[in-house]
Chain A
Amino acid sequence: MAEKVLLVDDETDFLEALSQRMEARGMNVSTSSNAAEALKKVQEEGFDAIVLDLQMPGMDGIEALKMIKKENPEIQIILLTGHATVEKGIEAMKLGAMDFVEKPSDIETLTEKIKKAQAKKIVLVEKRTEEKLKDILGNKGW
C-alpha cells in the first residue's frame, strides 16, 4: 500500500522537487506551504506520515506538531530542519515526533523513515481498534 504523506515547508521549490521524487518512489504525496493549511488538510484527510519543517512563517513546526498530535495521535511526524540543535530535537521527541531529519536530506533515508512511520501508524491504529473492540465487548457483557 502506498504511503500517504503530507510535506509541509514554506520553500515551494523544495516542496515541488521533493514531492515529485517521493511520488516517483511510489508514495502518495500532498503538500502545504504553511502550518495552518497543513492542519486543515490533516483534518480533511488521513495521512500515514507528515514531514514537517521546523521553522516556518507564522506557526512553527513545534506548534503544528503539538496541534496535530493532540487531534491525531496516531499520525507519525518527521521533523525537517536546517539546524538540528539537540535541545530542539529532544523537545520535538518529547512532543511525539517520530524522527528528526536535517536538511539537505538524503531521499533514501527519508523514504526509509516514512516506511517505518507507516508501519508504526498501522500498529497504533490496529491497537486502538482492538482496544475499542474490547471496550465494546466488555460493556455489552457478551
Chain B
Amino acid sequence: MDKDWEKLGQEGLAFFGRMSASISHEIKNALAVINENAGLVEDLALLAERGATLDPERLKRAAAAVQKQIRRGDGIIKNMNAFAHSVDEPVRQVNLDETAALMVALSQRFAARLMVRLETGPPSGVCVTVNPFLLENCIHLCLAFALESAGAQKALTVSVSGTDQGADIVFSGIAEPCGDFPTEMAERVAGAIDARLVFDKTKETLTIALPRKPAG
C-alpha cells in the first residue's frame, strides 16, 4: 500500500475531529452535572432564606457530586492534552502501554454507547519508535471495528506485548466480526507506520504488528 499523504491527512483530520467531538461531549456532560448541583445548592439556599430547614446531608451530596465531576473533567482534559501533544514530533519513542491506555480512555464513550466493556491488558513496558499520531489513528480504526464486533460477550481487551521484530498490540474479544477488516484506510494508516494488521477469526483477535523502529 502506497503512502498517500493526502488521504492519510484527510483521515488524520477526520480522526482528530471525531476524538475532539467526543471529548467536548464528555466535558459538557461533566459541566451539566456541576451546573445542576450548583443550581440545587442555590435553590436550597433560597428555600433556607424563606425559613426552610437546610439539610446538611443534601449539601454534602451536592458537593461530592461536583468534586467527582471536577476529577472526571480533569481526567478528560489530561487525556485531551496527551492526545493533542501526539502531533508534536513526527517520530519518537513511544511507551505502548501509555498509548493503548490513552486510546482506551478516549474510546470509553464509544464503548459505552455500544455497551461494551473496554479495558487494557497487563502492562508490558514495551516501547517502539513510531509516529505517535498515526499509531493512535491506527489503534482508533482497529478499535472502531473491534467495538462493533464484540458480539454478545460485550468485552474487549487491548494488550501490548514485545516481539522479536518490535511489538504487538492485540485486540481480543472480536466474537462477531461486522464486515471485512482491515479496510483500505486501516491498511493505509498501518502501512504509513510500517505496521501489519492481522485479523484472526479463530482466535477472535486483531493484531497491530509494529516494528521496533520505522524502516529506512
A contacts, CB < 8 Å to B: 10-11, 13-14, 16-18, 20-21, 24, 55-58, 60, 82-83, 102-105, 107
Known pairs A20-B40, A104-B28; list 11 more (Cβ under 8 Å): A13-B65, A14-B29, A16-B65, A17-B36, A21-B40, A56-B113, A57-B112, A57-B114, A104-B31, A104-B32, A107-B36
For residue B34, which residue of chain A has the nearest CB? Answer: A104
- Residues on A with C-beta less than 8 A from B29 are 11, 14, 82, 103
B contacts, CB < 8 Å to A: 21, 24-26, 28-29, 31-37, 39-40, 43, 47, 61-62, 65, 68-69, 112-115
Partner of B24, one of A16, A20, A56, A83: A83
Partner of A24, one of B32, B47, B113: B47
For residue A56, which residue of chain B has the nearest CB? Answer: B113
**What are 20 of the A-B contact pairs (CB < 8 Å)?**
A10-B112, A11-B32, A13-B36, A13-B37, A13-B68, A16-B65, A17-B33, A17-B62, A17-B65, A18-B36, A55-B25, A57-B112, A57-B114, A57-B115, A82-B26, A83-B25, A104-B28, A104-B31, A104-B36, A107-B36
Q: How far does the alpha carbon of A24 sit from the alpha carbon of B47 in the complex, in Å?
A: 9
- Residues on A with C-beta less than 8 A from B62 are 17
Are A55 and B32 interface neighbours, CB within 8 A?
no
Shortest CB distance A15–B (Å): 9
Are B24 and A55 interface neighbours, CB within 8 A?
no
For residue B26, which residue of chain A has the nearest CB? Answer: A82
Q: How far does the alpha carbon of A102 sit from the alpha carbon of B31 in the complex, in Å?
A: 11
- Residues on B with C-beta less than 8 A from A107 are 36, 39
Q: How far does the alpha carbon of A21 sit from the alpha carbon of B43 in the complex, in Å?
A: 7
Given A13-B65, A17-B65, does the pair A103, B31 have CB atoms closer than 8 Å? Answer: yes
Are B28 and A103 interface neighbours, CB within 8 A?
yes
Q: Which 7 A-B residue pairings sit nearest by Cβ, starting from the closest?
A: A104-B35, A82-B28, A17-B36, A103-B32, A82-B25, A104-B32, A13-B65
Q: How far does the alpha carbon of A14 sit from the alpha carbon of B34 in the complex, in Å?
A: 8
For residue A55, which residue of chain B has the nearest CB? Answer: B113
For residue A85, which residue of chain B has the nearest CB? Answer: B21
Q: How far does the alpha carbon of A46 sit from the alpha carbon of B149 in the complex, in Å?
A: 38
Q: How far does the alpha carbon of A11 sit from the alpha carbon of B21 in the complex, in Å?
A: 18
Q: How far does the alpha carbon of A60 sit from the alpha carbon of B110 in the complex, in Å?
A: 12
For residue B112, which residue of chain A has the nearest CB? Answer: A57
Are B32 and A82 interface neighbours, CB within 8 A?
yes
Shortest CB distance B111–A (Å): 9
- Residues on B with C-beta less than 8 A from A105 are 32, 35
Shortest CB distance A60–B (Å): 7
Shortest CB distance A29–B (Å): 13
